[in-house]
Structure 1
Amino acid sequence: MPLPKCERLPPEVRVIKQLLEALLFEKYVEVSVSPCIEELSWVMGSGEYSVKGKIGAFGRYRLIINSLKINQRSIDVSIEWLAIIDDLPTTKDIKKALIKEFIQTVQLSRWNSQHLPKRLSRRSSSYSDLEHQLDEGHPYHPSFKARTGFDDAAHRAFGPEAGNTFNLYWLAIRHSYLKQALPVDQAHFWKNELGHGQWSRLSGALNAHDETWDDYGLLPIHPWQWQQLKDGWLANHLENKDIIFLGIGADKYTATQSVRTLLNKDVPLHPNVKLPMNMVNTSSHRNLAAHSVCLAPHVSQWLRNVIDSDVELIGLSILNEYAGARFSDDSLDVTSSIELGQLAVIYRESVNSHLKEGDDAIPFNAIMMVENDGLPFIAGWVERYGLDAWIEQLIEVTVIPIWHLLVKHGIGIEPHGQNLVLVHRDGWPERIIVRDFHESVEYNTTFIRDADSVPNFAEIEPSLLDAPLDDYYAMSSVELLRELVMDTLFIYNLAEVSHLISIFYPLSEREFWLRVSSKLDEYEKNHPELSERLSLLGYRSPEILTESLMTRKLKGSRGECHHSIPNPLSIEHI
């Protein structure tokens, strides 16, 4: 039987589809369901809304957006989409901010469709090419392309989609304004990273200002960020020679899906460079949290030690964040000052450096994509190995290592679709690589397996002395660890895969999650010594809490927002 085919929605229609799905999922409006005709209805603002759709795994709503009616009138979403935002139950200021994000999301998405190559398929693309070819953006958040401050020129030059390359700019920072966590002394570090020629050129530029590395350290800055800062708060430091502009680097870089993490295009084995950018994309500000930059190498080393100590984690690798440096000012509060997160760098191992002969890798979110030929990215792999065998192997290599790290070691990581890399051989899942830990590793003091192995964060970053629970790495409850892992791995990641599978293949979402549940049962049987720890996680509860991403934006809240959802891993739902 041939597979069904899907077409991409116009960007403004997709914005509204994901906005309404998020509102319903997060229970921001009260919805009634007519099961017999799969129609959902609710009142919002001045409108009575109805739409056909269904409720999938974890209570995720999946709407047939072209069936939307308001006050019993069928509407053309592509024309009337902005009017829907006026009905949102939030303040005028937040509506204005959202409209700005949504308009830019539409404009940048449309730029992509008008200017990018019309690829029939990305299935044969390399990992580095997929990082710019996967242009769909966040599958849940309606602001999936809202890069505040980006115009078309910046989008073309520095966005990942066009795949254009650019050079980093380089600054010398007076040591009194620089905090570093380098594996060796700065001269040896930078000579190794940049090569002798580039290091010599930058040293010569510093010498031209009658200064030496005895008083300064080196720091790259994204060229877009340089344009944002050089005439602002940076200007005074430049005038005082606390910061000296040294010129443009030699290596060519290209942006990944996250925009601020860059791949070395000249030498793919060279590290990724993560640089702050003064923008909001989806729901996150893309500067670097100042406290996390110099903690990054310590967090990575902690995780590597844990993984290396446990043979059951052989299928899990991390991209080591082995160096960090940032602008530092003792007069500013490191936990809240915006300036301190605007000038920094984290060096991270590349995916290519972790691949063996015969290995290929893809960003995990490629698995949930549909190509321009109307078929899933994974269509050829499923056909080659069979749906049942391929799905079972995918669940085994993806879920179990992350679950084991949580259950046995008490460490929660954030493996959402962009943070997770699938290593495969001819499409057969082999293992996973995870990344991005400096801000997104969590533990609970009562649940951590080896408390002595946890870095002394406050000793390294004194600003975290007496830090409140739940703001950084230490969580107040085991429940929050469960939420982090299940949110990112299950609810906003694998639920997209199970939804896609249910559309194209004879495997319902319920059956997909039964298979996940079976794998977790098998894990529990193989680890009877961990039964108490598993029960503490409460992952079989009929209802679990998940983060309310859109609600936080609509309420203008900086704190956490949560709502309860049905859990397909619960015994009641199996």
Structure 2
Amino acid sequence: MTIRPLDLGRDADRLHAWVTTPRARYWQMEGWSVEQVREAYAQIDARDDHDAWVGEVDGRPTFLVETYDPAGSELADLPEIARGDLGMHVLVAPAEHPVPGTTTEVMRAVMELCVGPLGALRVVVEPDVRNDAIHAKNALAGIRVQRAVPLAGKTALLGVVAAHEYRTSELGRRTLLAHLRPDVAERAHRHVAAKALGELTHEHLITSEMEADGRYVVTTPSGARWSFAATRHALEHWRVDPASVEHDSGPVDAQLLLSQLAPVLGIPEHLRSVYLEEIASTIASLCHKWTHQRRTSAELVDADFQDVEQAMSEGHPAFVANNGRIGFGVLDHARYAPESGAPVRLEWLAARRSLTHLALGGDLTEERLYREELGEGVIEGFRAHLTALGEDPDDYVWLPVHPWQMEHKIAVTFAPDLARRDLVHLGAGEQHYRAQQSIRTFYPMERESRYVKTACAIQNMGFLRGLSPAYMRVTPAINEWVLDTLDGDPVLTSCGFTVLPEVASIGYTGDAYHQLGTRTAHTKMVAALWRDHPAPLLAPGERLATLAGTLHRDRDGVSLLGEWIRASTVDPEQWVRALLRAYVRPVVHCLRVHRMAFMPHSENLVLVLGPDHVPARAIMKDIGEEVAYLGSGPLPEDVERVRMADDVELTAQSFFTDVMDGVLRYVAEILADDGLLAGDDFWALVRACVAETVRDGGPVAADLALDRATFAHSCLNRLQLRNTLQMVDLSDQASSLTYVGELVNPIADA
């Protein structure tokens, strides 16, 4: 089946025959002439918010589809209508020889059009109450009837289905694996193989030799040859062209490449299959994104914060296996993965107060936190539920839980806690969220309440994604210390740098696993934190966008960075200067003056773009788990956890690893390969920004010498390959790092 736009030049007579038959009586066009039908659909064609389509089966026109924005229709004033809704009508033409199942497959194809290329968050229908046939098909697609509504010429049954609900419906389940097609998988294999060849060469795990024709070759221990074309950039960065990758003995297979390279990658034998599983999951994720995510970089230029977040197709830019998500099933992916864009309602537990630690920052109170996050009605419902069980509601606090965690871990791994009612399941809250790229962090959809970060015990990129109650206990205190330390700093104020504070945290420790006295994955399964919403920090006309957007290329290879620059009012050099002032300047200043290191990779930093699409400033987030203090000054007792060694070299290295090698080398590649700004010119701008920051920041105890000739090369894939289950000891991260040689510093003092 294929669906194409209606062409009145060739479809008018056929369309007239379809809509005037008795079968189409609910379309209210019986007795219309060809010209009347043509005129009606010409008016639809002229509108931006209404489209008509013709579906073909084996090349034969078979069905009619209309899609429309309900906000421009009779439905506009109904309280059930929301932003992101798409209205839909479908009509299957009479067939001389009907084929059983055709109408069901048509419905599937139409729903795929709506939630796929057309990007509907929800599909809305309003068929005549008497149209039993379409009601049955709607039910197959998971469409839930809301109520009967009077419309022009009919009484309609208003029905709604969210995209993720369709995916898990009887009809949608048939398409859960639709993205795993040979053509899409081939592209994904090439993409991952290209990343592997580039990043593993960058980390000196493999050697790429240039041949006479200008192509590069990697020879595996078994003698297999992999060849490719690449552009090379500063910091020994390789951008391998996925389309150029060739294997001497068969199709390009990323798992085969890494399997053949396994003897030289340092993966323990018992973990090699685990790593290959993460590679398979990364390939599956790419296939899903490229099949269902069709928003181009040009379309993302004016998109809102969460739409940009949803569109990101890459995980951490350096890691080859960056979308592992081991533990997520295909239905979980449809429900909870950030790229699905599905609205999620968090589950809530009542956790016995005496066994749970709730930490609050500033003047935030428990009563205010829950009132703002849940609402009085939900809280009263929770209290009534506990009372009905014979429990005193005042003996409990409320703890948000990822729905996956509730189903797969809490209900089983913590069954004894639930049975003795130290934990009580309360059900889902009313607020809807959408998952961010970190998988376990949720962004509120309906109102400007707080982010919620939850534990989610899936294996992803070298870690089981839990949350430690011990870590969460001091999170608000750490955030307050950061805010107090940076408050009033004139350099940070001048570039508008702010921190998004984590204002509350909660962790349950009444389980048997905590009684063992050893920190394990099991002691990181029932905890959460709340982070302030960034919207109140915006001025009129400003928008939020993840820093990851500067590294994003859409499915056709077009960079969002390039589209932002082209849409702006400035040239590439001015745009980059603004980016560096918003991002690099505050990070360097905090290291030099405050000896405070953030983890400023592309997911942890939010850019604020002005109305002219130029970076205005930056907001740092994910503070409690990531910030480090590398000085010798006194710290509050609750903040001592963030102290690392008083080491000038380690302080400087955090900039070289996390900013230079972790972000800027990719920005430089995109600018150069897209013909926007040459590599030398880009690094000259970085050098100038760092020098200006050093000059403006005044004297410090020790110079970090960020303009030195070389710096130690910290290798991230080597960490993951060494232990795919836990690549870093979070209690002593510095000693976990792996260095191989030196990188020539592109901002060295000439």
- TM-score, normalised by the number of residues in structure 1: 0.88
Residues 148-190 of structure 1 deviation map (CA, whole Å, 9 limit, x = unaligned): 1111111110011111112111111112321110244533431
Q: Secondary structure at the match of 2:300?
A: coil
Q: Secondary structure at the match of 1:10?
A: helix
Alignment-mate amino acid for residue 265 of structure 1: M
Tell me whether 1:134 sits opposite 2:312 in the alignment.
Answer: yes
- The 1:112/1:547 distance shift into structure 2, 3 A limit, reads same
CA contact (8 A) 1:364 1:421 kept: yes
Tell me whether 1:394 sits opposite 2:568 in the alignment.
Answer: no
CA contact (8 A) 1:334 1:340 kept: no
Percent of aligned pairs sharing the same letter: 23
Q: Secondary structure at the match of 2:393?
A: coil
- 2:251 aligned residue: 76
- What is the alpha-carbon distance in structure 1 between the residues aligned to residue 185 and residue 615 of structure 2? 27
- The 1:69/1:8 distance shift into structure 2, 3 A limit, reads closer
Q: Secondary structure at the match of 1:266?
A: coil
Alignment of 1:286-305 (within 5 A): 286-305=465-484
CA contact (8 A) 2:684 2:747 kept: no
- The 1:163/1:506 distance shift into structure 2, 3 A limit, reads closer
Which 10-residue stretch deviates more, 360-369 or 14-23?
Answer: 14-23
Tell me whether 1:98 sits opposite 2:281 in the alignment.
Answer: no
CA contact (8 A) 2:350 2:424 kept: yes
Residues 332-357 of structure 1 deviation map (CA, whole Å, 9 limit, x = unaligned): 46772222211111100122132122
- What is the alpha-carbon distance in structure 1 between the residues aligned to residue 346 and residue 467 of structure 2? 17
- 2:452 aligned residue: 273
Give the C-alpha shift of residue 59 in structure 1: 1.8
Tell me whether 1:322 sits opposite 2:496 in the alignment.
Answer: no
Alignment-mate amino acid for residue 349 of structure 1: D
- What is the alpha-carbon distance in structure 2 between the residues aligned to residue 359 and residue 506 of structure 1? 24
- What is the alpha-carbon distance in structure 2 between the residues aligned to residue 458 and residue 406 of structure 1? 17
- What is the alpha-carbon distance in structure 2 between the residues aligned to residue 140 and residue 44 of structure 1? 24
- The 1:65/1:168 distance shift into structure 2, 3 A limit, reads closer
Give the C-alpha shift of residue 38 in structure 1: 6.1
Alignment of 1:58-457 (within 5 A): 58-68=235-245, 73=248, 75-78=250-253, 81-89=255-263, 90-117=267-294, 119=296, 121-183=299-361, 184-267=364-447, 269-314=448-493, 315-329=496-510, 331-332=514-515, 336-371=519-554, 375-383=558-566, 384-425=569-610, 426-446=612-632, 451-452=633-634, 454-457=635-638
Alignment-mate amino acid for residue 748 of structure 2: I
CA contact (8 A) 2:648 2:702 kept: no
CA contact (8 A) 1:121 1:373 kept: no
- What is the alpha-carbon distance in structure 1 between the residues aligned to residue 383 and residue 482 of structure 2? 35
- The 1:327/1:102 distance shift into structure 2, 3 A limit, reads same
Alignment-mate amino acid for residue 297 of structure 1: P
- 1:468 aligned residue: none
- TM-score, normalised by the number of residues in structure 2: 0.68
Q: Secondary structure at the match of 1:273?
A: strand
Q: Which has the higher contact order (CA 8 A, sep 6+)?
A: 1
- What is the alpha-carbon distance in structure 1 between the residues aligned to residue 258 and residue 428 of structure 2? 46
- The 1:83/1:131 distance shift into structure 2, 3 A limit, reads closer
Give the C-alpha shift of residue 295 in structure 1: 1.6
Q: Secondary structure at the match of 2:315?
A: coil
Tell me whether 1:548 sits opposite 2:715 in the alignment.
Answer: yes
**Any gaps of 5 or more consecutive residues in structure 1?**
1-6, 465-471
Give the C-alpha shift of residue 432 in structure 1: 0.4
CA contact (8 A) 2:562 2:676 kept: no
CA contact (8 A) 2:435 2:443 kept: yes
- The 1:333/1:350 distance shift into structure 2, 3 A limit, reads farther
Alignment-mate amino acid for residue 491 of structure 2: E
Give the C-alpha shift of residue 74 in structure 1: 7.0
Q: Secondary structure at the match of 1:167?
A: coil
- What is the alpha-carbon distance in structure 2 between the residues aligned to residue 108 and residue 37 of structure 1? 32
- 2:702 aligned residue: 533
Q: Secondary structure at the match of 1:408?
A: helix
Residues 363-412 of structure 1 deviation map (CA, whole Å, 9 limit, x = unaligned): 11112223456533233542331112111221122111111111111101
- The 1:69/1:380 distance shift into structure 2, 3 A limit, reads closer
Alignment of 1:483-498 (within 5 A): 483-498=653-668
Alignment-mate amino acid for residue 440 of structure 1: E
- The 1:539/1:118 distance shift into structure 2, 3 A limit, reads closer
CA contact (8 A) 2:710 2:745 kept: no
- What is the alpha-carbon distance in structure 1 between the residues aligned to residue 559 and residue 207 of structure 2? 34
- What is the alpha-carbon distance in structure 1 between the residues aligned to residue 697 and residue 343 of structure 2? 48
**Any gaps of 5 or more consecutive residues in structure 2?**
1-183, 729-735
- What is the alpha-carbon distance in structure 1 between the residues aligned to residue 273 and residue 473 of structure 2? 37
Between Structure 1 and Structure 2, how many residues are aligned? 544
Which 10-residue stretch deviates more, 174-183 or 45-54?
Answer: 45-54
- What is the alpha-carbon distance in structure 2 between the residues aligned to residue 106 and residue 517 of structure 1? 37
Tell me which structure has the larger Cα radius of gyration. Answer: 2
